[in-house]
Chain A
């Protein structure tokens, strides 16, 4: 049976992708942020997951307002990236894993989640920046990726509790897949930030760190908040914690927090990174 071997939270800020393009990882501004990635890459190299299920939000590359899914799941053999309009360099295609995609879709619908199924979508920086960070120099092409998108742009958005439950159902689907494959789950985006309005620039380190603590010990505590509560606490784009909750929902039982990093701000955003290992899978 397939196994979830770990969960990773990571930012997807475009500025991080640009910094990698320009080789700015060692500069004063970025070095604290990039310091966390080599140990995570070491873990990935050692554990060799076959598949990454990646929760992200599309920022208007593929899913624009004309048809905007609340939850969507990729079921394509590959996913192209493209020009997003403001200068991040497109990267070569990401490899998909259609058999597990369809297994997850079937399991979800049997269990009362009804995502949009996408056989041809482009993925944006929400997916490509994390992949490039975790598998640099295009080595992400060696891992099969299932992108799962959550609407974090237009209200109404799924409630945080719903994103968590959605992740739980995906975790169950992975664990009952009859293939001997190792899966890593990725929650991208966050933490506190607000890009729009007079309140742009708000950050909340205390709340971010509370969320990171709860991601380990009690993720349901985060789901007590509504999206508007999250906006009040951590800015309009704090709602991106939906992807963290979905990722955490995939993992059953207690987790060990193997690594953590928090750097704020990078661009306009507080960046949290965690590597979580399911205790049930250790041995």
Chain B
């Protein structure tokens, strides 16, 4: 059999066929948030919206808990989750902090510690 298994990378969820299968309905819901009408429907009644999109109970709980890593574990793709995050006004630094156990400020400081000072212009 072809060896296509990806090696594990710590702290990273490879979004592969298995994850895409598990997360299909959850991601479909998040994809629907491209439309303001759908974002509003979720704001109005999140439980009904999640049921309509056939989320599993575990996925619903991760959404209620705002647990981003758990959503990833349950097959979420960050591309669509970004649209979910948009409903709450969370940008990528807020999400980054939520996933890596840091406050937003700590997360920004972590980013800056690896980059600024290595700027090159020319």
- Any chain B CB within 8 A of the CB of A91? no
**What separation, in Å, do the CA atoms of A267 and B100 have in the docked complex?**
16
A232 B110 Cβ-Cβ under 8 A? no
* Contact flags B69-87 to A (C-beta < 8 A → 1, else 0): 1001000011111110111
A36 B121 Cβ-Cβ under 8 A? yes
- Any chain A CB within 8 A of the CB of B27? yes
Using CB atoms and an 8 Å cutoff, list the residues of chain A in contact with chain B.
15, 32, 35-36, 59-61, 64-66, 82-87, 153-156, 194-205, 209, 227-228, 231-232, 236, 259-265, 267-268, 270
B4, B17, B31, B36 pick with most chain A CB within 10 angstroms: B31
For B71, the closest partner residue in chain A by CB is A196
| Nearest CB on A from B54, distance (A) | 14
- Chain A residues, CB < 8 A from B120: 209, 260-262
A201 B111 Cβ-Cβ under 8 A? yes
A199 B9 Cβ-Cβ under 8 A? yes
B35 A83 Cβ-Cβ under 8 A? yes
**What separation, in Å, do the CA atoms of A258 and B102 have in the docked complex?**
40
**What separation, in Å, do the CA atoms of A270 and B116 have in the docked complex?**
10
- Chain B residues, CB < 8 A from A36: 121
B114 A205 Cβ-Cβ under 8 A? yes
Q: List 23 contacting pairs A-B, 8 Å CB cutoff, sorted by A.
A: A60-B83, A65-B27, A86-B83, A87-B86, A155-B6, A155-B16, A195-B82, A196-B13, A197-B11, A197-B13, A199-B11, A199-B100, A200-B95, A200-B96, A202-B114, A205-B118, A228-B14, A231-B9, A231-B14, A232-B9, A262-B121, A265-B111, A268-B93
Contact of B72 among A65, A197, A261 (CB under 8 A): A197
* Contact flags B32-66 to A (C-beta < 8 A → 1, else 0): 01111001000000000000000000000000000
* Contact flags B82-118 to A (C-beta < 8 A → 1, else 0): 1101110001110110011100000100111011101
For B101, the closest partner residue in chain A by CB is A198
Using CB atoms and an 8 Å cutoff, list the residues of chain B in contact with chain A.
4, 6-7, 9-17, 20, 24, 27-28, 30-31, 33-36, 39, 68-69, 72, 77-83, 85-87, 91-93, 95-96, 99-101, 107, 110-112, 114-116, 118-122
- Chain B residues, CB < 8 A from A64: 27-28, 31, 80
A87, A156, A195, A231 pick with most chain B CB within 10 angstroms: A195
B80 A155 Cβ-Cβ under 8 A? no
Q: Sort A-B residue pairs by CB-CB distance and give the 7 closest, nearest first.
A: A86-B86, A199-B11, A264-B115, A85-B83, A198-B11, A196-B78, A205-B118
**What separation, in Å, do the CA atoms of A203 and B81 have in the docked complex?**
21
| Nearest CB on B from A13, distance (A) | 9
- Chain A residues, CB < 8 A from B9: 199, 228, 231-232, 236
B35, B110, B111 pick with most chain A CB within 10 angstroms: B111
User: Given contacts A199-B11, A228-B7, A270-B115, could you give 12 more A-B pairs where the C-beta distance is less than 8 Å?
Assistant: A32-B119, A64-B80, A65-B77, A85-B35, A86-B85, A153-B79, A156-B17, A196-B12, A197-B13, A198-B11, A236-B12, A264-B115
Contact of B39 among A15, A85, A209, A262 (CB under 8 A): A85
